[in-house]
């Protein structure tokens, strides 16, 4: 049996007719940029996330960048975030003119540690970006309390957690603004690049709309320097086909996560993911910690099973961020996570027997690596 980490072709096969018809309607409309599908999707995603405003943009990266621009981040402004995330969370801070300030993560959830956020706030702090990694919310209650105390806005990086819940609220509706990614592999992915900014602030939404269109609110009149970052009609139409399935897909991810956890409970040398109290985790990834990771990866490969390491190197140790002045040992929990994490296949397109096959392969590989190779 082969179990790919992700099988988007299989996921989309069941929707072939609906997706094809949506494409045909866009082609026939003659309107390909910022048309009725983008407006409708913005309203649908806003309603789904319980926020009044959503602005479609070209990617999750742009959603973060435009949020920072709309907050008027200036040179020297500090933005607190995690070093254990996809690079986009951090490179946009520098592109917007700010300075990333890293704090370490919690070992159980892999998300930014609120106690360390509090200690990192200075007079120059202008934003906090918690990342809801792998589909689970960061501790938003604690983070929002700190942010309120210091009058600092919060941008939720909700790229990996659309549909997740934290303390009764949808992720993306808790901070001052939030970024979504519709990269194909995400829980709600388009068939190309796409993203969205969520906010409860009408003026902020209008500013993001202006910035996504070269800084113009009125065609050919420019109030500031913006970029070209629009979600296109085709992607919006495809996302509108997929959005009604999101909840059932997230439920399927949770079922498979539960099955993995039952099957892998008690396996030596292995730690299972934890759902923090009050969280509804949507398992964008099902990520284990393993002592003997390389040996297990080799065994999974031999068994035809896809897996991946998100992420092999924390951002504070990457050459691209060397000038921030961090070094090895600065964020030990993130550094350890990079050595131990392994993500397994979890998509809603998979079947239960495939999850069972992966769990059996993990158990066998863990047994071999715990006792050493058999003679």
Ligand X SMILES: Cc1ncc(COP(=O)(O)O)c(C=O)c1O
Binding site for ligand X (CB under 6 A): 59-61, 85-86, 88-89, 131, 157, 159-160, 181, 183, 193, 195
Nearer to ligand X, 122 or 228 (CB): 228
CB closer to ligand X, 303 vs 308: 308
Nearer to ligand X (CB atom), residue 310 or residue 326: 310
Residue 160 CA, chain-centre distance (Å), reads 2
- Residue closer to ligand X (CB basis): 193 or 340: 193
Contacts for 189 with CB less than 8 Å, ≥ 6 apart:
8, 182, 183, 242
- Tell the residue number behind the tokens 């050919």, with chain if given: 220
Smallest separation (angstroms) from ligand X to the CB of 129:
9
In the complex with ligand X, the residue whose CB is nearer, 195 or 345, is 195
Q: Which two tokens stand for residue 339?
A: 């050595």
Provide the minimum distance between the beta carbon of 195 and ligand X in the complex, in angstroms, as a whole number: 5
For ligand X, the closer CB: 191 or 303: 191
Beta carbons of 346 and 257 less than 8 angstroms apart: yes
Q: Provide the minimum distance between the beta carbon of 154 and ligand X in the complex, in angstroms, as a whole number.
A: 15
181 conformational bin, left if phi > 0, alpha if psi -120 to 50, beta if neither:
beta
Closest C-alpha among 103, 81, 85 to residue 284: 85
Q: How far is the CB of 86 from ligand X (least distance, A)?
A: 4
Residue nearest to ligand X (CB): 60
Nearer to ligand X, 157 or 340 (CB): 157
Identify which of residues 133 and 146 has a Cβ nearer to ligand X in the complex: 133
How many CB atoms lie under 10 A from the CB of residue 50? 13
- Rounded least distance, CB 295 to ligand X, Å: 27
Residues 50/173, Cβ–Cβ less than 8 Å? yes
Distances (CA, A) of 352 to 253, 264, 280, 310, 349: 11, 14, 21, 24, 10
CB of residue 371 to ligand X, shortest distance in Å: 36
Q: Closer CB to ligand X, residue 86 or residue 110?
A: 86
Q: How far is the CB of 92 from ligand X (least distance, A)?
A: 8
Smallest gap from residue 61 Cβ to ligand X (A):
3
Which conformational region is residue 116 in: left (phi greater than 0), alpha (psi within -120 to 50 degrees), or beta? alpha
Helix (H, G, I), strand (E, B) or coil at 117: helix
Instruction: Report whether 62 contacts 195 (CB < 8 A).
Output: yes
Q: H helices within 217-351, ranges in order?
A: 233-242, 246-264, 293-302, 332-340
In the complex, the smallest distance separating the C-beta of residue 185 from ligand X, rounded to whole angstroms, is: 8
- Region label for 76, one of left (φ > 0), alpha (ψ between -120 and 50) or beta (otherwise): left
Q: Are 67 and 179 in contact (CB under 8 A)?
A: yes
Helix (H, G, I), strand (E, B) or coil at 199: strand
Name the residue nearer to ligand X (CB basis): 112 or 264.
Answer: 112
Nearest CA to 198 out of 317, 49, 318 is that of: 49
CB 109, min distance to ligand X, A: 14
């Amino acid at each position: 049996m082969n179990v790919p980490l992700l099988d988007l072709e299989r996921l989309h096969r069941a929707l072939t007719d609906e997706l094809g018809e949506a494409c045909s309607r866009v082609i026939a409309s003659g309107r390909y940029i910022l048309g009725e599908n983008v407006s409708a999707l913005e309203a649908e995603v806003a309603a789904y996330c319980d926020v009044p405003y959503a602005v479609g943009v070209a990617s999750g990266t742009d959603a973060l960048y435009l949020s920072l621009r709309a907050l008027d981040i200036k040179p020297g402004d500090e933005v607190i975030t995690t070093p254990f995330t996809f690079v986009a969370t951090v490179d946009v801070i520098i592109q917007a003119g700010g300075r990333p300030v890293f704090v370490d993560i919690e070992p159980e959830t892999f998300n930014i540690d609120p106690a360390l956020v509090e200690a990192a706030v200075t007079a120059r702090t202008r934003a906090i970006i918690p990342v809801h990694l792998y589909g689970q919310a960061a501790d938003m209650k604690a983070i929002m309390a700190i942010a309120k105390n210091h009058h600092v806005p919060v941008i939720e990086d909700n790229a990996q957690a659309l549909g997740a819940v934290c303390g009764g609220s949808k992720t993306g509706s808790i901070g001052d603004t939030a970024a979504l990614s519709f990269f194909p592999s995400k829980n709600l992915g388009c068939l190309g690049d796409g993203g969205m900014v969520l906010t409860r602030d009408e003026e902020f939404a209008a500013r993001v709309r202006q910035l996504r269109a070269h800084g113009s609110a009125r065609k050919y009149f420019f109030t500031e320097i913006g970029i070209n970052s629009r979600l296109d009609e085709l992607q919006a139409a495809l996302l509108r086909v997929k959005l009604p399935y999101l909840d059932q897909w997230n439920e399927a991810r949770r079922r498979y996560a539960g099955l993995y956890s039952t099957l892998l409970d008690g396996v030596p040398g292995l730690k299972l993911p934890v759902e923090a109290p009050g969280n509804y985790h949507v398992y964008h990834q099902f990520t284990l910690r393993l002592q003997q990771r390389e040996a297990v990866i080799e065994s999974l490969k031999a068994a035809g099973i896809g897996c991946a390491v998100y992420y092999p190197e924390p951002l504070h140790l990457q050459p691209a961020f060397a000038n921030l002045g961090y070094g090895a040992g600065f964020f030990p929990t993130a550094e350890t996570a990079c050595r131990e994490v392994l993500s397994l296949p979890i998509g809603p397109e998979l079947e239960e027997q495939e999850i069972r096959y992966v769990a059996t392969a993990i158990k066998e590989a863990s047994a071999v690596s715990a006792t050493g190779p058999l003679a």
